[in-house]
Structure 1
Amino acid sequence: MSEDRRGFIRNSAALITGAIAGQSLLPNAAAADPAPAAANSAPIRNRLGISTYSFWQFRNAALRSVGDCIERAARLGFDGVEILHRQMEDESPAALQKLKRLAFVNGIDLMGFSTHQGFLSPDPAIRQKNIDHTIRCIEMAYAMGIPTMRVNTGTWGTSKNFDDLMKNRGIEPPQKGYTDEQGFGWVIDSFGPCLKVAEKCGVLLGLENHWGLGRTPEGVLRVVDAIRSPWLQVTLDTGNFLEDPYDRLAQLAPKAVLVQAKTYYGGGLWYQLDLDYPRIAKMLHSHGYRGYVSLEFEGKEDPLTAIPKSLALLQKCFQGRTDVTAPDGTR
């Protein structure tokens, strides 16, 4: 072998070794300023989805069909649909695959699965029942090809009902003889077996700021940070911080994998927030959030007129669209 050929092989080996070690193949790359690459990044344009809850709202019986919601979302111009589990009327394998097919032929992503569970109980049997339910929902999401699933801590159940919980702005005392501190332990332990299945199925769980121990950003992060799993992150709901929403949303933004955006046309069903969506979009984009924004319409107006207005708002704020006109004529 010639000396030139030996030299070529030695140099090539050195380059490969450097690459494996995580070093750049360019000798001065370490000193290069990464800012130009960031400056050349395209503006973030979030894809927009809609929760089937926006149509049904637990009260509009004629708009309950998940299949109909998927077709309506496609006609309105949404990119994806987030399915509310409690809205489903058929969970058979055939029904799940029918929804998957329907979404595909309509050019819609099934991008989220919104579920309910409650780990905030001193009764191990109740916690196990909710673990089993959560695992079942993960497997359903996997069957439908849904990549992320909303999860909750659950509530103490010391409120008379949800209306009573909302009157108290989501605050409720623990069950007698127990503390929130104990509750965090139950919630954290309960996610363990769920996450084993989530990782196996490739379904990313997002803990929502959704009452109970998840009512505050500190509560959500306490659970997520204690578990330290890439398969448990945050579903960020813009309407569930009733005080100082912007600072609180910003605390969770770095871990957000799905954003649920509330609108309240016609007045809120339980309460109404005057949310500054240009501000929220700017904040999320500053954290590099490129995921889906999923509409949750929670107003009293007819969903069939309020949802198009909501879509136009989100298109302007999260996609920078200037060519959209809401049905009421506003741009």
Structure 2
Amino acid sequence: MKPTHQPSRRQFIRVTAAAAAATCILPRSGFADKAAGDAAPFKISLAEWSLHRTLRDASKNLTNLDFPRVSKEEFGIDAIEYVNQFFKDKAKDEKYLTDLKQRCEDLGVKSLLIMCDGEGNLGDPNDNARTQAVENHYKWVEAAKFLGCHSIRVNAGSRGSYEEQMKLAADGLRRLSEFAKPHGLNVIVENHGGLSSNGAWLAATIKSTGMDNCGTLPDFGNFRISGGDNPEWYDRYQGVEELMPYAKAVSAKTHDFDADGNEVNTDYDKMMDIVLSHGYHGYVGIEYEGGKLDEYEGIRLTKALLERVAAKVAKKG
């Protein structure tokens, strides 16, 4: 790795603020990424959660700082999506973030977004707790901006009736989006359990924020609304259809594969037809979450599946 000059705290803040001030429009979403004459219907990125078991296994000696290298060298993927759990205490660590950013630059790897968990419920019924949750995300907006990301992914957790949760979540999301907008950052919500896994509810919640930098990250597999003995599931194809008008990223969830390399839970041809029908041509993030295969093998199978789908789409013209 190239030696780097570590900026002072004052330099770090000044560079970040200057970049934010220079941003007069939000980063392009996947709807604007397909250039004329570009045959690729979409691009492939790698979500860090695909390696969560490896990262948590101390014997593997792999950390978040190694993620850009592993993505590029092991899988040939040059765009990545971080998970804040793997550098939880580093959001304000300028030396760490500078090191991570330099590693990406040295490898030619693009940082796309940070998936944020564990910072409180943005739709918490308690006003003080909701405000605290909003403010807890500020540091991740600033870290994402410094790394060159276009978004942070958040959760829309809440409690109460259907309508109450929509109102509460929209309030928290709107306030966080207002903070993120001057930084040129999007706040995007994944279907991630509870009412957020109801496509109609989440789409309406995003719309009600009135913020154009608040959107969705449709995940192909996270459509379980409730658990227990009789879990409630939302139709995944309907859900993605409902979420795509607000999508600023897409998560290609996989668990298991058949002998032909197809995902057994999701018809990828059908699902990607839905994604592309909305004019989305940006990054589709691999998120292997299965437990039967080695994570590296799961990632490779997901990439191969996406490449086959892309080839079919390109062939059809």
Q: Verify same fold: TM over 0.5.
A: yes
What is the alpha-carbon distance in structure 2 between the residues aligned to residue 320 and residue 94 of structure 1? Answer: 44
What is the alpha-carbon distance in structure 2 between the residues aligned to residue 259 and residue 63 of structure 1? Answer: 29
* Residue 60 of structure 1, CA deviation: 3.8
* Residue 113 of structure 1, CA deviation: 1.0
Question: In structure 1, what is the equivalent of residue 10 of structure 2?
Answer: none
1:94-243 equivalence runs, <5 A? 94-116=95-117, 117-156=120-159, 178-241=160-223, 242-243=233-234
1:1-331 equivalence runs, <5 A? 42-57=38-53, 59-61=56-58, 62=60, 65-75=63-73, 76-88=75-87, 90-91=89-90, 92-116=93-117, 117-156=120-159, 178-241=160-223, 242-265=233-256, 274-300=265-291, 301-318=293-310, 320=312
- Contact kept, 8 Å, 2:123 with 2:170, in 1: the verdict is no
* Residue 266 of structure 1, CA deviation: 7.4
- Contact kept, 8 Å, 1:215 with 1:240, in 2: the verdict is yes
The 3 A distance-change label for structure 1 pair 140 and 243 is same
Count the aligned residue pairs: 258
What is the alpha-carbon distance in structure 2 between the residues aligned to residue 93 and residue 196 of structure 1? Answer: 24
What is the alpha-carbon distance in structure 1 between the residues aligned to residue 311 and residue 250 of structure 2? Answer: 14
* Residue 198 of structure 1, CA deviation: 1.0
TM-score of the superposed pair, with normalisation by structure 2: 0.75
Task: Write out per-residue CA displacement over residues 102-126 of structure 1, whole angstroms, 9 at most, x where no aligned residue.
Answer: 1111111101111124123222221
Gapped regions of structure 2 (runs ≥ 5): 1-35, 224-232
- Contact kept, 8 Å, 1:46 with 1:319, in 2: the verdict is no
Query: 3-state DSSP class of the match of 1:210?
Result: coil
- Contact kept, 8 Å, 2:176 with 2:187, in 1: the verdict is no
**Which residue identity is paired with 2:47?**
S
User: Percent identical across equivalent pairs?
Assistant: 23
The 3 A distance-change label for structure 1 pair 63 and 53 is farther
What is the alpha-carbon distance in structure 2 between the residues aligned to residue 78 and residue 320 of structure 1? Answer: 20
Runs of 4+ residues over 6 Å off in structure 1: none
* Residue 42 of structure 1, CA deviation: 4.9
* Greater relative contact order (CA < 8 Å, ≥ 6 in sequence): 2
Task: Write out per-residue CA displacement over residues 260-292 of structure 1, whole angstroms, 9 at most, x where no aligned residue.
Answer: 11111379xxxx961111221222112110111
What is the alpha-carbon distance in structure 1 between the residues aligned to residue 173 and residue 246 of structure 2? Answer: 17
Gapped regions of structure 1 (runs ≥ 5): 1-39, 157-177, 323-331
**Which residue identity is paired with 1:264?**
H
What is the alpha-carbon distance in structure 1 between the residues aligned to residue 80 and residue 214 of structure 2? Answer: 21
Question: In structure 1, what is the equivalent of residue 8 of structure 2?
Answer: none
Query: 3-state DSSP class of the match of 2:153?
Result: strand
- Contact kept, 8 Å, 2:46 with 2:71, in 1: the verdict is yes
What is the alpha-carbon distance in structure 2 between the residues aligned to residue 252 and residue 302 of structure 1? Answer: 31
RMSD across aligned positions (CA): 2.4
What is the alpha-carbon distance in structure 2 between the residues aligned to residue 244 and residue 206 of structure 1? Answer: 21
- Contact kept, 8 Å, 2:121 with 2:155, in 1: the verdict is yes
